[in-house]
Structure formats: structure tokens, C-alpha cells
Amino acid sequence: MLDHNSHLPFPPELLAKEAQALADKAEQSLASILLQGSTCSVRPHLAFLKLKHKVSYDQLARIARLLFKIFCNAKGDVATEARTASPLASVLQHLNKLPDCPPPGSEARLSIEWRPIYDALLRVQLSGASWEEYALRGGDIITGAEASSQHHKALLSLVRRARNFFAPSAAQEIMEELRPYLCPHEKSMYKAAALICKLLPDELGSAGGAGKLLTELAGVWEWVPNSLEWQLLWVTLFSRMARHNTEEMLAPLQPLLPALMSGLLRLLDVPSGKSTPQKEEQLGWPADCKFLCDKGDRCKEETVKKYTRIIVFTICPQSATFAHLTAVLDYLRPFFHPLQEGGYTKCLDMLLKMMTLNFAKRLGFESGAHRPKKPWRQPYKLTPDDRAAFTSLFLPLALTALASKDHSMSFGAAQALKDLAGISEAEVLPQLMQRMLSSMDNVMRPHEVQSAISLCGVVAAPMLRAEEGLDFMGQMLQLSLGGIDTNDPMKTMYTLNLFNALLSNMPLADPKDLPQASSKPEMLYQMQDWVSEVLERVFQLLQNVPPMKKGNPLRGHVQPLLRRFLDILLCQLSPSLYAAALDKIARKTNEMFYPPAKEFVGYLLDAAVLASPAQALAKLVPVLVRRIVAGGGVLAGSESEVAYFTHLLGHAVVRGGDALLAHSAEIDEVLAAVALREEAGALSEEASVPKEAHKLLRKTLHGLLAVYPSDFCSAPRSKLQWDKIKDFKALCAPLCAPAEAEIAFHVPSSASQQRARELVTRWVTGAKGKISEASVTPAGLRVAFGCLTACIRGGGSLFPPEEMDGGVLRGEGEEEDVEEDACVGLLSPVTLEDKAFGPAVRAELGQLLVAVCAKHALPDNPDVATLEALLPLVSFFLSSKGVWRKHAHLKSACNYNKGVHRFWDKGVGGSYSRRLLQLRSHSLLAQRLDMGVMKEDETAGKLLDVLAGLSLHEYSLVRKKAQELLPSVLKRYPLAHARLYGAVLQRLRDPAASKGVVSGVVYTMQKGEVLQRVARHWGLTTGLVEGLLASAVFDETKVQVRLAELWNQFVPYYHPVPFGGLAHPHALAQDPDVVQAMAGKDVQAEFAAGGERGAP
């Protein structure tokens, strides 16, 4: 289990102290909720799990027990059950991963009862009735479809995690409960069978063992041979039994193997003759069982995935599994050929890649390199002969499928070949090298070129470690240069993926930068030409980029890949290669003017500065400044040129750090010339000079104050001392153990903070003066608002909003609570030098905004453009902490890299590149910096009212903008929901409300997260119903249609609301977990604070 926190810029002892404090606080808060019978959300108290903190097994088990007791006491409260089930599932998932988690059967292991979960699931799905009553007359509880869906999704995720902790007797009890309903002539049979498949734990001893249970349930499985959902449920259960009870089920599995393999062939639906076969009529899945199996179009592929698990984990001498698999693949072999593609291709793709993946995982489990999340008991260990037989069976199929014109199939084949390379490296890699080189030279089949490039990127790491790997990769780098092609975005994407994978594992060096006695591969002598050519290709790509409109493939796919490639490329260059590349970038940037490509060119400058900030800024800043100002505040070119080069300058400074201090005068000269400059055109025009100047101000502040990784090299800086490298090959695809990654972050220095404070003070004062001018024009106001927005977004970390007190996570009513991640007082890598600066600036900005809103944020103000500029300013002031917020993108990139490039048969040190650890650590740090909820002071309250009021503005453009911003702001001020949405609903009772106001109410409330909160809050539900009843006075048809739509949107979220709160019997005051959690607190007083509701 990786410790990602060890790479963050914090002392380990402080992180351990923070983790303990957060866990103690969570335990105490959950005990308080339990004692009081509160219905407030438990999620905020568990946010420390997202921060990857280490917590002891005993404490996390106590937290899990407290959560389960809250879940049990919430009986009948649909919302609280769902809101507790999801966090509990997350806690159980973390608990099962802990190294010190006791094995199943141990008395020290946490035990979770299965029946409360089962009862809660049926209570909603059977509408409060029993099986028999529901079959006769239906149920009594009225729950909306959406509320019911959220409930069963949360509970099924809980079942998946909780069954690992069911008591040893659970299997017998579940079968005794559900076996009577397994009658093929009763419609309840489907539901009972699905519940068995979902609830049965992996420990099956109490039900007679896995062998006996398999024999019984296999008979039930055969009842319905032509239903995809039925097959998926049972095959999933059998795959779990095969993985965790292999020895017990091997004997009874043998007579079932022919039926299982026949079922797999029927599922794949491959042709069985020349004539079109008559297909079986597929049975539909009952509508009232959809909640138990709702994979939709992916049902067939998911079933194939589970079949592969059964096959792989039962391969052993005592089983005929491998013989049956060989026979099946002999029949399927022709259908892997590119000329035989059809409706079955996706399933064959899934079969191929999941067979090899599960085999690699099994090898990792057996070697101890990979720790399974569940107990691992395997009676037979795979031998080298088993590896060779498996490889010889699947390698020809994967090589054939690689040539497919179906992108999914070819990529799946590449994944399978990557896993086979890990299974039998010596046998597979030479064939892959030969195949890739022949495909790259085959100009008659361009799709094979893409497949070869894709495969090379996937197997880059083992290739580099091979004996001839470096020379081979040198050839591939040269041959794939033509893949960067504006006319073929898909090929460009594959090529960039290849370059990213290679450069994440291999630095690029000029031989003259290495010691004379060092070992220098031949491919290094081509690197100077290659770097020059690849940059030339990039600039050719940029000069032909079409306008980056929505739907452009270059924007959706190539843009993020190109940005990552440029970051890695320039960081991996040796000094001579970097200097040559920087000269070329500076020269081309000065010569080139193509506004559609400004984002791409900006990424190039940004990457160059990250690699060597002082060197790059000294080269780039003078070039760019000369193209913006000519001295004395005079612009050096047309407005479009000035806007273009100002945009590029913003990219150049965004990761400059302390190196920006040497260029303060030049940046100030540019800002002074353009930041508060009014234009005749609208501010929203693409070529707007002030707009780009505001971006420059924001990015300058960000460059001074941001915390980010200081390099993206494949090896730590301590090992990349070019004049001391003895063997270059040792730097390629290093097996980087996480503890040796040496990940460093840029943290703002005192001088950078001082410079940022000066910029904020200067431009806040300047914007404030502009606003206060008696003759200020609307364009002047918009320019001033943009300047203030830039100061807040870029320098907000100097004056963030005040965080909410960690002990006050709910309002006056039980229904007013925090649902967001609410860790308070987290460690920060930045120590602010001037403690008084932040509160003073924030108070000044707050007073200014309140005054501006009182003057301009009026319901009938026709100046739409000014209000559209004011809304983001108010929003960012309320919610921005001045940190980077796109950490979810980084996490997504990590998940992709982990899925594509990880070798499951290797240990942790051989599974991750340093680049992947950097991305994950950066994502975790950014999430930590962005986390938190804010205190609603007087200024914030007034501005929130303004934002809610503008969502009902007469002009639709203003309304839409406010409605877009309001939910994200309220995530920072969650206790304001009830007040603001109550005020919005109140407008429906106003007979003088205009059509615009009513439309604003409808579209403000007509969002899933808002309606969910309304349904849970009785006051808001009452306000909605009373408002809709009072709105009968509006006689316009369009208005009534919209109001009817609002009601129709609300009904699916409706569920009964418990007025008395949750049950909290007196026995809770003596509960051991509660008493331990509340150590030092008055348990009886806490219990009394909840009143007498639910107490017997």
C-alpha cells in the first residue's frame, strides 16, 4: 500500500499528528451524531480518508462500527441511510487494505451484520412491505424514483464492501432466508437470486462450503440460459468463489466446465456456420430487479470479464480448465483476424485483455509482489511451464488482433501484449520488436502504423530494459516523427502517447554533456537532430491548428497530450539539448503570429520555463515584452498582436517561481500599459488586450505563490548530474521505489510573497480608483472588475476566506448541514510572512464589492455586459482560495497511467514510474489545498444574497450566468442553502413577479443537487409546494408549463422525512465505542442534547 503523503512537502511527524487529530475528531463527531439521533451528514467527518492519511486498524474499525450504528438507527429515513451507506463503504474499503487488518475468522476482525443492510434494501424496493405482502398488494411507502435509485446504489456499494466483514455464519443465514424464494414459477425468483449473488460473502463454510454451494447454485443458474443479466449475476458469484475458495470448488467445478464454456461461446455470439444461425431469444430482465443488475449495454462485456476470472484462477493440474480454454480459443482463433470483425469484436477484445491481465495479477499475488484486497488462498502455484503454455496460446491471438482497424481491439491487444511481456519477457519482446519495425515500414497499411506506435508506448518500460532496447527505441523515435500530423488527430494522439511513455522512462542527452569515459548508446548521437525535428513538427502542427472550437478533436484529445509531452520533453533534456531547444523556441515564438494556436504555443513556453526557470525567462521575457510595449506605455503593434503576445507572456510566467523576481520591472511595464486600458470593443472579444493583461496578472501571482512539482524528470535530480553519469542505460526505465523518488515541490519564498503582496496592493488600489471615478464608463468598470478578479484568483492564497469552525458543521435545523469535505486546519506548505495583510485586504475587497453590488447588481439593470463581469468577481471572492482547482484532471491521468502502464506481476517498485508518483502527489496536494468550507460572515451573507438575486434577473444572460455560479459557491457555504433557496422559492408567492423572475426560480431550483436538498429539508419542501400552489395567479401558458416541469422534476427526489430525527436509545450512552470516542466529554449531556426522540 503506497504512502502518497510521504512525497508531500511536510514533515512526517506533523502529518502523523494531523492524521491522528482528524481521526479522533471524526470518531468524536460520529459518536455525538449517534447519541443525539441527528440526521446530519457524516461525510464531512471522513474527509481525512481522501487525504490518504494512515489510521490504525483499531480506530478505523471503531469509526466503522459507529457509522454502522448510525445506519441501523436511520431505519426508515431513506436519505440518511443513503448518506451513511456510501461513507461506510469507503471506510470498509480502506479498512480491508490496511496491512494490519486481521484475516477472516479472526476474533479481532470487524464484524458487520448483513440483515440490517438487507432489510433497508428491501424496505425501499418493496415499499415497506414483506415479500408476500408486496406480491399481493404492493407496499405503502412512497419514494421517488431518483431517491430510490440513490438509495439502492449506496446500499449495493455498501454490500460489496461489507460482505468482506460479515460474520462466519452469514452465508448460512442468507441462504436460509432466500432459498425459499428460489422457485422458477414465482416472479420473486429473479430478485431472490440476485440478492444471493450480491450478499453471499467469500467465507462459505457455514453454508456447507464452496463446493456444496456451487453444486446447488449451478442448478439454479441453468434455469435461465438466455438472459444476459442472469448470466452476469451468477458468473460474477462463481468468479468470486473461484478466486477465494479455489481448492474447495475445483472438484464440483469439473462437470460444470463444459456448460460454462458453452455459455461463454453463446455469450460471444460468434458465427457457427456459413448460414446465418437462429439466435436464441433473449429474455428481458424484470423491471423491479433493475436496481440489482443495471449494466445496460455493457452487460455482455462485463460477463465476459467475470468468465476470465473463473478460468484464470482455476488453472491447475487438478482441473481441466486449460484444456477447455485451448479448445475454445481454437474455435475463436479466426474471429480475431481483422477481416472477421463483427458485433462480437468488443467481447473478444474484453476476453483477450482480461485473460492476460488476470493471469498477470495471479502471478503478482503468488509472488507476493501485489497484495490482494481480499484474502488469498491458492492451492497451486503457477510454474514456468504454465507461463510458457499460456503465452504460446495467447501471443498469436494478440499479434493478430493488433492489426485490427477497430481502435478498441488494437489497443486491447496492445494491453494484452504488455501483460504477456511481463509474463514471458524473453519470449515476447523480440517478437514485438520485429513486429513493430515491420509495421512502421508498411506504408500500405497505415492503421498498422498506429497500432505499432500504440504498442510501443504501452511496452516502453520493459523495452528500454531489454538488451537491444535503447537502439530499438532510437529507431522508433525516428520512424514515428511523421505521426505528428495536423490532418490525422488520431495518429497524432497515438504518437504523443508514445513520446510521453518513452520520455517518462528515459532522459535525452547530448553525448558531449556526458563524461568522456561514460557508456554512450549509439542512439544518443541522433538526439540533437531528433529534438530539433520534433520541435519543428510541433511548430508545423501549431501553424495549421484550426480555431479551437467545441468539438475540435485537437481540443478534446490532442491538447492535453501535447501539454504533457512538452512538459516531459523539455525537463528530460541535457543542458546542451535544452539550450538549443530554447533558442529555437524563442526564435520561432518571435517570428510566429497565429492566434488560434496561442494556447499550444503558451504550453511550449510554460514547459520551457518549468525545465529551467532562470535560463528560460532570461531568454523569453525580453523577446515577448518587446512585442508588447515599445517604451513609454506605447503598444508595439496592433491590438490583436499585443493581446497574442501578452497571452504568451502569461504562459511564460505561470511557473516561473523566484526567477520572476529578476523580471519584475519588465512585467510591471507591460501591466501598466495594458491592465486598465479601456477598449472600444466589448471586453469578451477574443483579442481583448485588457482580458489578456488580467490573465497575465493572475498568472504572475500564481507563478509567485503556487505550489507545484519542481520537475518532471524520470529520475531524481540527484541522479541526473550529467557530468557524473557513468552508464546512461542505467537511467532508462529505472525501477523507482516510491521511497527513492525524491519528489520536490516549488514553495513560495519570502521574496516571492513580498512581490505578490506588492502586486495585489497596487492593482486592487488601481481598480478601486477606477471604479470610484465620477465619469467611469461601463467599459472602465468591466476592466476594473477583471483586474480585481485576477488579483483574487492569482493571489487569493494571501487572503483566503475564513474557514468554518470544525465543530459547527450544521445550522440551526437538523436539515441544515454540511455535505462537502470539511477538513479544517490542515497543514499548509506555505507560511504567510505578513499575517495582517490577508484580513486587511479581504475586508477592503468585501466592502468594495458590497458597495458595487448595491449600485449595479439591481434586478432591472440593463447593462448585461457589466453584470456578466461582476458575477465572476463576486463568485471568486466568495469561493476562491487562490489555488489550482483542476486536481481531478490529474487524478484521472493517474488512473489512466496506472491502468495502461502498470505491470501487475511486479512489485510496487517496478509498477510505477516517477512521473506517475509526481502526478498522484501533485493531485493529492492540490486537493488538500482546495479542501474546506467557509464561514458566512456579514459580507459573505450580503454577497450570497446578491448572487441569488441575480439568478432571478430580468435578463436571461445574467440569470444563466448567476445560476451557473451559485451551486459552486454554495459548496463553500453549505449552511446558506436553506436561506437562499427559501428566499428564491418565496418569489413564487409574489403575484407581481415577472415572467423573468418565475423563469429564474424554475431554472435555479431545477438541478438535481438542489432538488435533493429540497426533498430532505421539510421547510424547503413546504416552500416549494406552497409556492407552486400560489403561482396559479400567473396565467401565461409558458410560465405554467415551466412550473409544471419543476414539479415533475421534484417528484422523483421525494421521500418521507423523519420529523423526530433518528432513534437514539438510552443504551447508546453505555456503548463501549461511544464511551471511548467521547473520552473527556459528558456522554449524558450529549445524549440529552438530542431530546427524547426515539428513546424508549
User: Each residue of 882-919: pLDDT tens digit?
Assistant: 888 787 777 777 777 777 877 877 766 566 788 888 88
- In this model, does residue 277 exceed pLDDT 60? no
Q: Is the dihedral of CA 221, 226, 227, 233 positive or negative?
A: positive
Predicted confidence (pLDDT) at residue 486 exceeds the cutoff of 50:
yes
Question: Residue 282: pLDDT above 80?
Answer: no
Distance CA 546, CA 544 (A): 6
**Which residue's C-alpha cell is 491447475?**
316
Q: What is the mean pLDDT of residues 830-845?
A: 92
Q: What is the pLDDT of residue 281?
A: 74
Eight-state DSSP code of residue 508: B
Paired residues of 573 in beta bridges? 508
Cα dihedral across residues 979, 981, 985, 987: positive or negative: positive
The neighbour count for residue 220, using CB atoms within 10 Å, is 17
DSSP 166: B
Q: Grid coordinates 484550426 are at which residue?
A: 546
Better pLDDT: 605 or 1078: 605
Is residue 516 classed as helix, strand or coil in its secondary structure? coil
pLDDT at position 816 is 62
pLDDT digits over 1015-1059, tens only?
A: 988 889 999 999 999 988 888 888 899 999 999 999 999 988 877
At residue 1092, does pLDDT exceed 70?
A: no
CA distances from 436 to 451, 452, 476 (A): 8, 5, 9
Query: Grid coordinates representing 215?
Result: 453444486
Q: Quote the radius of gyration of the chain (alpha carbons, Å).
A: 32
What is the helix (H) or strand (E) element at residue 573, kind and residue range?
A: none
pLDDT at residue 1094, rounded to an integer: 45
- Give the Cα separation of 876 and 694 in Å (integer): 14
Q: How far apart are CA 69 and CA 76, in angstroms?
A: 14
Least confident interval from 4-8, 617-621, 872-876, 981-985: 4-8
pLDDT in tens, 644-701: 999 999 999 999 999 999 999 999 999 999 888 876 544 444 448 899 999 999 999 9
Residue 817 gets which letter from DSSP? B
In which element (H, E) is residue 109 found?
none
How does residue 738 score in pLDDT terms, banded at 50, 70 and 90?
Answer: confident
Is residue 407 scored above 90 in pLDDT? no
How many H helices and E strands in the chain?
46, 2
Cell numbers 430482465 correspond to 285
What pLDDT score was predicted for residue 890?
A: 79
Distance CA 463, CA 85 (A): 45
Rounded CA gap, 676 and 689, in Å? Answer: 10
Tell whether the model's pLDDT for residue 103 goes beyond 70: yes
Which one has a higher pLDDT value, 107 or 294? Answer: 107
Give the 3-state secondary structure of residue 803: strand
Got the DSSP string for 1058-1081? Answer: -TT-----GGGGG-HHHHHHTTTS
**Mean pLDDT (whole number) for 829-840:** 90
CA 974: distance to chain centroid?
22
Residue 1017 CA to residue 978 CA, distance in Å, equals 8
Q: Please, are residues 40 and 33 in contact by the beta-carbon 8 Å criterion?
A: yes
List of E strands, 141-181: none
Task: Report the C-alpha gap between 1096 and 1093 in whole angstroms.
Answer: 9
Amino acid residing at 863: D
Q: What is the 3-state secondary structure (H, E, C) of 287-302?
A: HHHHHHCCCHHHHHHH
Residue 6 is predicted with a pLDDT of 87
DSSP characters for 859-898? TT---HHHHHHHHHHHHHHHH--SS---HHHHHHHHHHHH
| Cell of residue 161, nine digits | 464492501
Amino acid at 138: G
Q: Looking at residue 1093, what is its pLDDT?
A: 47
Cα-flanking dihedrals φ and ψ of residue 727, to 5°?
A: -135, 110
User: At 143, is the pLDDT very low, low, confident or very high (cuts 50, 70, 90)?
Assistant: confident
Task: Note the pLDDT tens digit of each residue in 583-617.
Answer: 999 999 998 888 888 989 999 999 999 999 999 99
Cα of first residue to Cα of last residue in the chain, in angstroms, is 45
| Predicted pLDDT of residue 367 | 84
Judge contact between 750 and 831, C-beta under 8 A.
Answer: no
Question: pTM of this prediction?
Answer: 0.92
How many CB atoms are located within 10 Å of the residue 183 CB? 11
Q: What is the reported pLDDT for 950? A: 94
Helix/strand/coil for 727: strand
Contact predicate 1059/76, CB 8 Å: no
Grid cell listed for 369: 509482489
3-class state of residue 746 by DSSP: strand
Among the listed ranges 215-219, 695-699, 773-777, which one has the minimum average pLDDT value?
773-777
Q: In angstroms, what CA-CA distances link 139 with 78, 142, 156, 391, 781?
A: 15, 8, 21, 56, 61
Q: Which of 264-278, 458-472, 552-566 has the lowest mean pLDDT?
A: 264-278
The yes-or-no verdict on residue 150 having pLDDT over 70 is yes
Residue 948's pLDDT band (cuts 50, 70, 90): very high
Predicted local distance difference test score (pLDDT) of residue 559 = 84
Check residue 365 and give its pLDDT. Answer: 87
Grid look-up 479481532 returns: 108
Tens digit of each residue's pLDDT (9 = 90 or more) over 283-335: 888 888 888 887 777 899 999 999 999 999 999 998 999 999 999 999 999 99
**Which cell goes with 909?**
517498485
pLDDT of residue 1040: 92
Strand-pair category, 745-746 with 708-709: antiparallel
Q: Which residue has the cell 436511520?
A: 74
Q: What pLDDT does residue 686 have?
A: 45
Q: How far apart are CA 738 and CA 910, in angstroms?
A: 10
In angstroms, the CA 677 to CA 654 distance is 22
Answer yes or no: is pLDDT of 958 > 90: yes
Which amino acid is located at 616 in the chain? Answer: A
pLDDT in tens, 26-61: 999 899 888 888 888 888 888 888 888 989 999 999
In this structure, the dihedral spanned by the alpha carbons of residues 1051, 1055, 1060 and 1064, taken in order and rounded to 10 degrees, is: -160
Residues facing residue 745 across a β-bridge: 709
What is the C-alpha to C-alpha distance for residues 191 and 182, in angstroms, rounded to an integer?
A: 9
Under 8 Å CB-to-CB from 801, ≥6 apart: which residues?
Answer: 842, 878, 879, 881, 934, 935, 940, 972
pLDDT of res. 866: 93
pLDDT digits (tens, 9 = 90+) for 346-402: 999 999 999 999 999 999 888 887 777 666 667 788 999 999 999 999 999 999 999
